[in-house]
Amino acid sequence: MNTPIPVRPEPRRHSRIKPVILGLLLIVIIAGAVGYGVLYKSLPVTRGELPLTQLSQNVSVYRDKSGVPHIEAKNMRDLFIAQGFVTAQDRLFQMDLSRRQASGELSEVIGAKTIERDKFFRTLGLRRAAEASLDGYSEEAREILDWYAEGVNAYIKQSKDNGSLPIEFMLLGYEPKKWTSIDSLTIGKYMAFDLGGHWEGQAFRYYLLQNFTEEEALDLFPSYPEDGSKVLQALRETPLDLSDRFASAVVPNAFNGSNNWVVSGKKTESGKPYLADDPHLGLATPAIWYETHLNSPDFKVNGVIFAGIPGIILGKNEHIAWGVTNVGPDVQDLYIEKRNPNDKNEFEYNGNWEKAEVINEKITVKDQKPIDYKVTITRHGPVISEFAKDDSPETALSMKWTALQPSTELEAVLRFGKAQNWDEFKEALTYFHTPAQNFVFASTDGTIAYRANGLIPIRKNGDSTVPVPGWTDEYEWEGFIPWKELPTIVNPEEGFISTANNKIAGDTYPYHITNTWAQPYRQNRIREVLSAKDKLSVKDMQSLQFDHLDLQAKEFIPILKSHLKGQKMRPVDKKALQLLNEWDFQDDPDSGAPLLFHIWMLEAANVLFEEKIDTDMMDLFEGKAQIVDQLIRQADRGNPGPWIQKAGGLPKIMLTSFQRAVDKSIELQGKTPAKWEWGTYHAVPFNHPLSAVKPLNLLFNPGSTPMGGSRVTVGAAGWSSATGEVNHGASWRSVVDLADIAKSFNVVGPGQSGHVLSRWYDDQIDEWTTGKYHLTDVTPEAYRKESEKLTLKAK
């Protein structure tokens, strides 16, 4: 019998082949030895056979038309070894960059540009928290972590031996080190960071209180803090200049969140539940999500996972499906620490000086000497106010955060895959601690359910609005919201459950969750659509995930226009205003009205805050969009706050910001408003991490595509205010009909592969930008038909 020869797939054929060739030629000139042959050699082998001696039995990997690997193994050990190997084939550079960022090790391969970022993550200590978490896992989970690492390392070794590492490693001049269990857990901790906990908002409000009147400061608060006068007085008595200390801080995207919903079978055409999920995070090449199907006798699950972590975090098995959105609770508290002027490593607590822990971190920097960096950890957590500089002899800010404690999220993820009903899934949630998530659930038995799950602190005093005194025990945590009392809904009479980072608990709920929720527009639109029909179809679910109706514009356009009445406007202003008069409030890419409206809202905020709030502090302005909305609403109702008054009143603000928006639109797209288009400005490039280095963008970036939607539409598409580039949204959308649970309708933007020559590198851009899906069918007879088969050969 002839042994199949390992075969790399045909490289993608793309309309951008000329720019790619140009990019390759330029890279050859710059790097000296890179060419198409080297690039092609690093393409993953997807057909034939490859040796994987770590396996006990052969494993089959079928990659379907969308590049989704269906991994068939005869036991769980081989399954997770293969998952590590296959994921590394498609995403090794992304995996390595992810663990480096979370660990504070980017400077080792990037150089001096990332030193401050590394300091920040060394200070937080995500890797230290991952190390502390490992012992809390079951023996099976630790084995799975080890098996996954074995598979990753087998691919790393093969690639080194064959000279076929992804080209990014060659361009940066390094080789990846071995993968470990801690690397996987550290990436998990980074996702807890990326989904936030509101420390930046506390720092910003502290800055407001130190630099503005109390009335001005409180006007920008989401709510007045509990024990307000006492806490505010303490803040004023402990001055700490933050304006330059957090200039290099890494702040998660303010719009990180998601949509999800489940619909009962009594409201669906199939008679079984539907589940829809689309988590909103950064958009880049490759995608943050990796779609995978794992199939062994004891573990059958499919969906998506972060590259570098075993299992499936969002998806389904043969009995259930689940999805998440971010709860966004207050799980981070900043404490003002009083430092001993005679010993900078001692801090006051209840009248005594306590010694802080000091950790020596050596940061390796490419092309220069290593940096010795010290991290100070008080009883509350790491001192984060001095990661960039250490010149305050008396005060500091430390951070307490649930994610810095040992936690076992991966344990929960692995148990999700085995759960067969709501009770078993809910039991698995007892292991999921951080980040707190809104889980929606559906099962083939007809159950739909929801649960806000994770560790949410109970505080003695305060509500996490502002930093609190750390020199007394008055503001300590007193445990967490009891697990049995976390918000939960099962089979509601309404027939559906939805979340969109909205307020999830009413005023009668006895525990504090947060004061900062997402703007309500996505949730309101989801509820509007799900309530409108007695029977919903799968197509309705897909259309809703891509829905571009802008309820913010529907609310604010009448307000904004009413305050322009009677004011003197230029002829071009009147033509621009006509766009809004004729607008149906759809954020369509070929419409000019969304361009004008969204720039107008940005300019309204600029008129209110520019030259008043330090530029470096604006990145910490948590909930700015919600607060600006509220300032305008209140002023329109005849109750303008100090910021509106200081800017000259609402009519002046509206006219000034509108004319700025018109001028900006003219600068971008010419003097004829009828020719303006939202999608020309609001386009998605799916930037690669190395694309900032010209001309590598010509090689790695797929090319910009016009995109509809906005930050407030269900079809979310956040963008850079500076460039208009769409950089945030749902790179994964999924719809499941529990009547045929083997199938799901999915899209991963821009595609599955991280290899620039793979045809799965950017083949889902059209689907992603137009609201289409591919069908993933995990029935073996279905996916084996037209797939590329790779056999991983055991020893």
Annotated catalytic residue 258: yes
> 212 burial class (0-12, 13-18, 19+ CB within 10 angstroms)?
middle
Three-class HEC string of 644-701: HHHCCCHHHHHHHHHHHHHHHHHHHHCCCHHHCCHHHHCEECCCCCCCCCCCHHHHHC
- Extract the tokens encoding 384: 């984060």
Say how far apart CA 652 and CA 492 lie, in whole Å.
47
* CA 188/CA 201 separation, integer angstroms: 23
Q: What whole-number distance in Å separates Cα of residue 448 and Cα of residue 267?
A: 12
Residue 273: cis peptide before it, omega within 30 degrees of 0? no
Closest of 687, 698, 684 to residue 767, by C-alpha: 684
How far apart CA 629 and CA 519 sit, in angstroms, is: 9
One-letter-per-residue 3-state SS of 154-183: HHHHHHHHHCCCCHHHHHHCCCCCCCCHHH
Q: Which two tokens stand for residue 663?
A: 């001028």
> Tokens 């080789």 map to which residue?
175
Alpha carbon 688 to its chain's center: 16
Bond preceding residue 286 cis, omega within 30 of 0: yes
**Was 241 annotated as part of a binding site?**
no
391 marked as part of a ligand binding site: no
Beta pairing partners, 570: none
Burial 513-535 (b: 16+ CB within 10 A, else e): bbbbbbbbbbbbbbbebbeeeee
Alpha-carbon span 475 to 456, nearest angstrom: 15
- How many residues does the structure list for the chain? 795
Which phi and psi angles does 279 have, rounded to 5°?
A: -75, 140
Strands 457-459 vs 477-480: parallel, antiparallel or unpaired: antiparallel
Determine the angle formed by the axes of helices 593-609 and 551-562, rounding to 10 degrees. 70
- Which residue pairs from 427-432 have beta carbons closer than 8 angstroms and sit at least 24 positions apart in sequence? 429/453, 430/483, 432/408
- Listed in sequence order, the residues at least 6 apart from 518 whose beta carbon sits closer than 8 Å to its beta carbon are 255, 257, 328, 500, 501, 502, 626
Cα atoms in the Cβ-side hemisphere of radius 13 Å centred on 455: 23
Neighbours of 770 (CB within 10 A): 13
Pairing of strands 274-282, 257-263: antiparallel
* Nearest residue to 770 (alpha-carbon basis) of 719, 715, 718: 715
Three-state secondary structure call for residue 776? strand
Query: Of these residues, 258, 407, 498, 734, which one is catalytic?
Result: 258
Query: Among all chains, which residue has been given the structure tokens 């620039």?
Result: 756
Binding residues: 330, 333
Binding residues for Ca(2+): 330, 333
Question: Which residues are known to be catalytic?
Answer: 258
